[in-house]
Amino acid sequence: TAAMNLDCIWHNLEYMECKWLAGKNARSDTNYTLFYWYEGLGNPEKCSNSSIHEGIFKCIFNFTFPKVTNTYPTISILIKDASEEIRPLCANKNPTTLVKPATPKAVALSKVNDDIRLEWSQPDTFPASCLYYEVKYHNGDKDTAHTIKVTFPCLHNFFFLHKVEDNRTSIPSVDPNTKYTFKVRAKPKPECYSSKLFSDWSEDKSIGAKSDSTFYFILIITIPLIIAVSTIILLFYLKKLKILILPPVPDPREILKRMFGEQNEDSQVS
């Protein structure tokens, strides 16, 4: 009946989010309650911000320390039911293994000469130099790109993954006629935290112009069509112009025929 598969994440050193499943033998209407405690808190605190969705229980509570703190106390978690029918679950967790940074925001791109400069915001909750960042970008066809990890910037027609300790980086010698798309994520440094959790990727940001193959395809079809129509129109007007400049010479037989035909008609009338 005890709660199982407890999983907690310390989001951006601001709040703890814990999720778990109901015990296999627990009743469907079991109402689990989470309590937490750590050294210096005094009495155990009840997590009141709880919810359940598709069978997954979740509870969120504030969990913050001063930014200058170098050591963090072990957090003890107790999940139980108000009745005595449910077996309680007790767990001790090292919070530094649960750290997940916030998604980098305010990602800005700029182009300086032949370089692309990328800059993003840093979270205020982390001590200085306790995060590093990965920058992922691609140029050309995204579907056929590959992912590689590099330490220093270099550029080919692939995906690239840069480890950057500052909140800015630059990509040199870019193609001005190519579109580049970037995104960034953060990860705690092992010397500060034991967590292996990355932040979520930031939204894609693009810069540069990508040549449109559709435009060239339409252009290839349209140009011969325009030339063909223009040629037909030109031939038509040339024919009319020829008639004006060199009118056709009348056939003498037709002239004589018309003259004698008119004389015969006049004699019959008389």
Among the candidates 51, 76, 98, a domain finishes at: 98
The SS3 of residue 176 is coil
User: Mind listing the pLDDT tens digit for each residue in 94-143?
Assistant: 999 999 999 988 678 777 777 778 888 888 889 878 888 888 888 765 55
- How large is the average pLDDT for residues 149-165? 45
> Listing from the earlier edge strand, what are the strands of the sheet with 168-171?
108-112, 115-119, 168-171
- Please say whether the beta carbons of 87 and 151 come within 8 A: no
User: Could you tell me if 53 and 131 lie in one domain?
Assistant: no
Of 73-82, 146-155, 196-205, 255-264, minimum mean pLDDT range: 146-155
Residue 25 lies in a domain: yes
User: Could you tell me if 110 and 203 lie in one domain?
Assistant: yes
User: Could you tell me if 245 and 221 lie in one domain?
Assistant: yes
Most confident by average pLDDT, 111-120, 166-175, 193-202: 193-202
- Please say whether the beta carbons of 153 and 94 come within 8 A: no
Q: Predicted confidence band at 2 (pLDDT cuts at 50, 70, 90)?
A: very high
158, pLDDT greater than 60: no
- How large is the average pLDDT for residues 168-188? 79
Residue 266 lies in a domain: no
User: Mind listing the pLDDT tens digit for each residue in 48-68?
Assistant: 999 999 889 999 999 998 888
- How large is the average pLDDT for residues 238-245? 67
Residue 264 lies in a domain: no
User: Could you tell me if 53 and 94 lie in one domain?
Assistant: yes
79, pLDDT greater than 90: yes
Which pLDDT belongs to residue 90? 94
Query: What range does the domain containing 252 cover?
Result: 213-259
Tally of domains within the chain: 3
User: Could you tell me if 180 and 195 lie in one domain?
Assistant: yes
Residue 270 lies in a domain: no
User: Could you tell me if 86 and 180 lie in one domain?
Assistant: no
CA dihedral 174, 175, 180, 185 (to 10 degrees): -10
Task: Tell me the residue type at 110.
Answer: S
Which pLDDT belongs to residue 10? 96
Which of the pair, 146 or 2, is modelled with greater confidence?
2
